Amino acid sequence: MSNSIKLTIIGGVNKDGTKEPVDRVEVNPGDILGIVGPTGSGKSTLIDDIEQLAQGDTPTERRILINDEEPDAKMRVDPRLKLIAQLSQNMHFLADMSVSEFLQMHARSRGKDPELMHKVIELANILTGEPIHEDDHLTVLSGGQSRSLMTADIAVISDSPIVLIDEIENAGIKKQDALALLAGEGKIVVVVTHDPVLALMASRRIVIKNGGMSDIITTSTEEKNVGNRVSEVDNWMMDLREIIRRGEIVEGVV
């Protein structure tokens, strides 16, 4: 499956049934699109509309186009044709198998070399401070390890050209590296976030209010500079967490 697709969101209505102020958003390969707004405003609903490839048949009445066309109905029901991968806040593996078994099985199902598991694990360990080993069982991985593994899996093995991410900021993962990795693979990345680092990494961000897309903001050069400064602080905080996790003394680190 090619990554060279364009995603278009055609606006519908907000919670009051009023037409959304933003009526069309186009997203291209390699783009990072943020979704921001107050808790309960409808951010996850927009993610759900994209995931379902909605065609005016959800409460928002939005439509999702792929390459400016209504997607084939089979794409909505056939997992083998699925265009979209999703990383959510709560990830729980139900299969009691090792990391290597899971990755090799996924690679085979995609018609790819099972040995790609080594690259996935290598990348996952860049994204998390808790090392993942190929003989670790999925059911004992922490939240951060799980999200790191799935991010790397999507980047290396998955053919899905669109990745939806729902609030990974508190997941114990190097979030900036994760977004950069996925976008660098030419995937469209749509991220719901309250985190200024992630929001300012996006080239644009949709503002959700009362269930509707009320505005779309293009990240300015000034905002990017602010994001870079905040990113430095965020990286420092992650390093500090790792020092504390290892039981080391913080004195002299600042």
> pLDDT tens for residues 106-137?
899 888 899 999 999 999 998 887 889 999 99
What is the residue whose two structure tokens read 């991968």? 85
**Mean pLDDT of all residues in 39-68:** 94
Same domain? For 127 and 253 the reply is no
The region of weakest confidence among 46-50, 231-235, 250-254 is: 250-254
Q: How far apart are CA 32 and CA 155, in angstroms?
A: 14
pLDDT digits (tens, 9 = 90+) for 181-211: 888 888 999 999 888 988 999 999 999 999 9
Same domain? For 204 and 232 the reply is no
Same domain? For 202 and 249 the reply is no
**Parallel, antiparallel or unpaired: strands 84-87 and 162-166:** parallel
Same domain? For 122 and 229 the reply is no
Same domain? For 157 and 250 the reply is no
Same domain? For 115 and 166 the reply is yes
Look at the chain and report how many structural domains it folds into. Answer: 2
**3-class SS letters over 167-196:** CCCCCCCCHHHHHHHHHHCCCEEEEECCCH
At 72 the three-state DSSP class reads: coil
**Mean pLDDT of all residues in 165-181:** 75
pTM of this prediction? Answer: 0.84
Whether residue 2 is predicted with pLDDT greater than 60 in this model: the reply is no
pLDDT digits (tens, 9 = 90+) for 131-159: 899 999 988 888 788 888 988 988 888 87
Alpha carbon dihedral 194, 197, 199, 200, in 10-degree steps, equals 150
- For residue 205, list its beta bridge partners: 34, 217
pLDDT above 70 covers a percentage of the chain that reads 92
Q: Chain-wide mean pLDDT for the chain?
A: 87
Quickly count helices (H) and strands (E) in the chain.
8, 9
Q: What residues make up the domain containing 64?
A: 7-219
C-alpha pair distances (Å), 228 with each of 90, 180, 195 = 28, 14, 13
Same domain? For 131 and 45 the reply is yes
